[in-house]
């Protein structure tokens, strides 16, 4: 996968390295201008396991990193000596996978005598929208939905002032998609295949539960999410139908499940904007590429008078461009670079932008 824009932007020239899970991403930006975005995915190697195998992912990063780096510099038409800084995902993510990217970034920083910035993967998912829509407002909300994380954020400064309003208390939305796909005997990863099937199903066919939306949940979990109960409800519904000898209407199940996920995500997102008194929300993360989530959030934010920002689907999944543009923001803000002694942090909190 490759993306490139026309030259002419301003700002620091930053190389970004992303290796938190099963995609090796190298991105190069000049300020908010995308020069190259090369991604090598190892997802095909994990399909037979029904999920990401950390050791397999780490070895894939080792094999893919140098070739991906070469493609990125060729696409951007730059020499590595020209970059102003090296940005890299320091966490959260799979420990072994993070270590590969971090080691490469440190080696480049030393060899090129360039400053190193260890950055937060999740904040990168929010920052990537800068490449499509330019500077962020002084204050906004963000809905971050990925394979392992689902959070509502209050952002005052993308380089260092981010508060988590709420998060998933069990399964993230992306995890629920993968688990439901297994229940329906669909391929991994579950998100894209369920999204595609849902387009041919009836989202009102089955009323699946909406977690943490009851009145009793508002005091403690107003902005939190829960998808474990939804996944269990789908599993039990399918099991009951199979025991009764009935055919499973897979498209209807997919559409009804997806509607439940999108409904909860968007209702709480709009509520968060009203609570914060902000008029802009940004949608980010791998699941932000989901067609129903994008469409329903657009409908509800428009009705509420809220501006919705969402990056193009190709920039929603893990990539080096999101780390590069966050790095460019950190450099432009004058934040001090990271030490070469920093380590990977698989549980890095979203409030820590720069390690």
Q: What is the pLDDT of residue 7?
A: 38
pLDDT at position 6 over 50: no
Same domain, 98 and 183: no
Same domain, 202 and 58: no
The length of the chain, given as a count of residues: 355
Q: Name the DSSP letter for residue 51.
A: S
Residue 243 within any structural domain of the chain: yes
Residue 352 within any structural domain of the chain: no
Provide CB contacts within 8 A for 232, sequence distance 6+: none
Whether the CB-CB separation of 40 and 31 falls below 8 Å is answered with: no
Residue 220 within any structural domain of the chain: yes
Same domain, 227 and 292: yes
Alpha-helical segments (H) within the chain: 43-46, 54-76, 95-112, 121-127, 130-133, 173-183, 190-198, 218-221, 228-243, 250-276, 291-303, 320-332
Same domain, 202 and 301: yes
Percent of residues, the chain, with pLDDT higher than 90: 91
Same domain, 105 and 153: no
Residue 212 within any structural domain of the chain: yes
Average pLDDT over residues 78-92: 98
Same domain, 95 and 171: no
Strand 161-167 relative to strand 150-157: parallel, antiparallel, unpaired? antiparallel
Number of domains in the chain: 2
Same domain, 305 and 177: yes
More reliable by pLDDT, 217 or 49: 217
Residue that is written with structure tokens 């099991």 in the block: 239
CATH of the domain at 121: 3.30.420.40
Residue 283, judged by CB atoms within 10 A of its CB (0-12, 13-18, 19+), counts as buried
Average pLDDT over residues 1-11: 50
Residue 7 within any structural domain of the chain: no
Q: What is the pLDDT of residue 191?
A: 94
Same domain, 162 and 273: yes
Alpha-helical segments (H) within 117-249: 121-127, 130-133, 173-183, 190-198, 218-221, 228-243
Q: Which tens digits make up the pLDDT trace of 286-341?
A: 999 999 999 999 999 999 999 999 999 999 999 999 999 999 999 999 999 999 99
Residue 6 within any structural domain of the chain: no
Same domain, 143 and 105: no
Same domain, 214 and 115: no
Q: What is the pLDDT of residue 146?
A: 86
pLDDT at position 54 over 90: no
Residue 341 within any structural domain of the chain: no
Same domain, 194 and 83: no
pLDDT at position 4 over 70: no
Grade residue 9 by pLDDT with cuts at 50, 70 and 90.
low
Residue 220, judged by CB atoms within 10 A of its CB (0-12, 13-18, 19+), counts as exposed
281: domain range? 138-311
Residue 99 within any structural domain of the chain: yes
pLDDT at position 2 over 80: no
Same domain, 265 and 282: yes
Q: Which tens digits make up the pLDDT trace of 244-291?
A: 999 999 999 999 999 999 999 999 999 999 999 999 999 999 999 999
């Amino acid at each position: 996968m490759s993306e490139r824009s026309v030259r002419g932007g301003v700002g620091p020239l930053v190389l970004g390295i992303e290796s938190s899970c099963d995609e090796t991403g190298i991105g190069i930006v000049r300020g908010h201008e995308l020069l190259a975005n090369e991604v090598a995915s190892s997802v095909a190697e994990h399909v037979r396991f029904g999920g990401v195998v950390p050791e397999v992912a780490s070895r894939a990063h080792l094999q893919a990193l140098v070739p991906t780096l070469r493609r990125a510099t060729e696409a951007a038409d730059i020499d590595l000596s020209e970059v102003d800084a090296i940005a890299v995902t320091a966490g959260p993510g799979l420990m072994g996978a993070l270590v590969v990217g971090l080691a490469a970034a440190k080696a480049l920083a030393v060899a090129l005598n360039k400053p190193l910035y260890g950055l937060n993967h999740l904040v990168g998912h929010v920052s990537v929208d800068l490449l499509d829509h330019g500077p962020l407002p002084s204050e906004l909300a963000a809905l971050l939905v990925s394979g392992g994380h689902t959070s509502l954020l209050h952002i005052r400064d993308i380089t260092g002032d981010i508060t988590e309003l709420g998060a998933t208390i069990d399964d993230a939305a992306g995890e629920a998609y993968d688990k439901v796909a297994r229940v329906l005997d669909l391929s991994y990863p579950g998100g894209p295949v369920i999204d595609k099937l849902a387009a041919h199903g009836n989202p009102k066919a089955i009323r699946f539960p909406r977690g943490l939306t009851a009145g009793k949940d508002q005091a403690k979990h107003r902005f939190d999410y829960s998808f474990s109960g939804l996944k269990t409800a789908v599993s039990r519904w399918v099991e009951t139908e199979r025991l009764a000898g009935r055919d499973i209407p897979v498209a209807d199940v997919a559409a009804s499940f997806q509607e439940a996920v999108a409904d909860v995500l968007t209702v709480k997102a709009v509520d968060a904007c009203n609570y914060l008194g902000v008029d802009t929300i940004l949608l980010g993360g791998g699941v932000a590429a989901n067609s129903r989530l994008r469409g329903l959030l657009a409908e509800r934010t428009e009705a509420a008078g809220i501006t919705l920002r969402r990056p193009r689907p190709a920039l929603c999944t893990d990539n080096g461009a999101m780390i590069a543009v966050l790095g460019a923001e950190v450099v432009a803000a004058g934040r001090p670079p990271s030490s070469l002694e920093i380590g990977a942090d698989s549980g890095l909190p979203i409030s820590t932008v720069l390690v």
